[in-house]
Structure 1
Amino acid sequence: MKNIASTIFLFLSILTFAQESALADLKFEEAEIAFNNKNYSLALNKVDEFDKLLGTISDKSLYIRIISLRKLFNDQKLWEDKAQSALLFSLQKYTAAYVNQVTDLDDRYREVYDISQELKFLPKTEADYKVGLLDLNIASGEYFAKVKNATCEYYKNNNRKMIYEWKGVCENGFVSGDGILTGYYLGTKEVSYQYTGKMKEGKENGIGTAFWYNYEQGQAKYEGNFVNGSLEGYGVYENYNVKASGLFKDNAPNGEGKFLFKSSNTEFSGILQNGKPYNGKLVNLNSGKVTRIYTNGTYQEQ
């Protein structure tokens, strides 16, 4: 009798497990359908149900969860909508888990890894987010931003919400003279911009060196002359893809100069207009041959 009872119990356990497994598969199918239909909120609900039935978080449900969260998360509204911070922290948690536990370096892994790197420039904890909110009023001026550690202002030429620190003097309420200006992403210690050089009335003026940092383009550097916060005069600009040296105006190469395209190892020499070849020649640096001649912005292949 005891053996019969044990057999029945084992049979019922197997049957229950099979039923739960089938139900879990159904929930995952529903999650995939919702995901493919771009109903990301429903997809998250279904992967929650799937993981609960499974008793763990699988790689395949984790991927759907991460991409759904990324689609719902709007970093442009992070400081206006508290709900976005909850999405952010969930996204950071699950991307870290995925990167740590998944070993196949496939397209999905690269996609999630790219998201994890993108999130580096955003607050990592609730405490960081609260600090960012406190700094928001300082960072959100339309034209000038107050410097956090000094009683002066800096002219910002973009709409990014950043917090600035200044190592230098203040004159008439503005950062002035020689110094170092560092801009941080709100709620982080990740540097977005750093300038070392001369300032006048809150703007970069004179010889200086500027660095920009972001995930999409990595680090960019400009060393040369500034006028009223803009790249103007002789300078050298370089990022992961190009290197430009020569005359600048309105933040772009304008006038005599050289422009190196790193991916093709070709270099233009001549007159540039708004950052584009205008009059001059393009040379393949591998062969030394001229490949294009530019005249008034149009070119002929050689």
Structure 2
Amino acid sequence: MRKQVVVSFMAGLVAGSIGTAQAQPVFTDIESHWAASCITRLQQAGILHGVGDGRFAPDDFVTKEQFFGLLLRVTGMPVEDQTGSGLFVTRKQAAVWLSHILPPMNTGIAGGLNAPFTDTNGLTKEEQQAISQLYHLGIMLGDSGSFRPDDYLTRAETAALIERVMDRISSETGGKAIQAEKVDLATAGTAVKEWVNQVKSAAGLYSKTVDGKTYILVSRGEMPNPGYQVVIRQALETDQKIRLDVTLANPKPGFMYPQIIVTPFDLIAVPATNKSVELIHMTESDLSKR
């Protein structure tokens, strides 16, 4: 089976999608932890990793590098640190970064209201707006009326935050998140390699079922330099369709790229299906603003 929907542009990196099945803790230090279920869920989806020796270290502070990596996996968008020095992530920093890269989401009738925290009045307008947005989206809820803006995020708190981000994206875009794995063409089977090489030069959305998996390819076609990218952020499933959330990234203005023809594409695999595949979001991003 092969289906094609031609589109004019797209951009990519795969964020591992999360299923909803309950699982047993996989780390030795989270069995009785309040965040055990979301840590396990994200680990089994390939989103989170431990620190070695079978440990997750849930109460350690999350580093900026770790946090940015998680955001890239779940949203497909790179983040640049605009806050200067510092190894760890504060709660107000997390709110601002998330507000910059989340797709537009409905916050309901409370969307224009400030979050009801008692400790955010001294923050910048940008920080207050970001915190209010994340609060009304149900992603950052605070603690007994306080947001604790200058506290560092722990790895467990980050897991809970990332789980809410993934679930909110799923609910906004429609459908249930399904497990999707990023496919490295270098290690793919011969049939998949041949198929990709046949279709990737034309911009479009393609699918092909091989050996119990349905491979989904989003291509931008031939582009004049490597500044163009293509990211499948998430795969969702309805009764009739597989739906893809896709983000676009284009060259940085003023940046000199080698002038070579490239064919940027992103490739994922989902459990075998004969459902049609469609794009639900294509968000264009200027990497220089991230």
TM-score (norm 1): 0.22
Larger radius of gyration: 1
Q: More relative contact order in 1 or in 2 (CA 8 Å, sep 6+)?
A: 2
- Higher helix share goes to which structure? 1
- Compute the TM-score of the two structures, normalised by the length of structure 2: 0.23
Give the structure with the larger strand fraction: 1
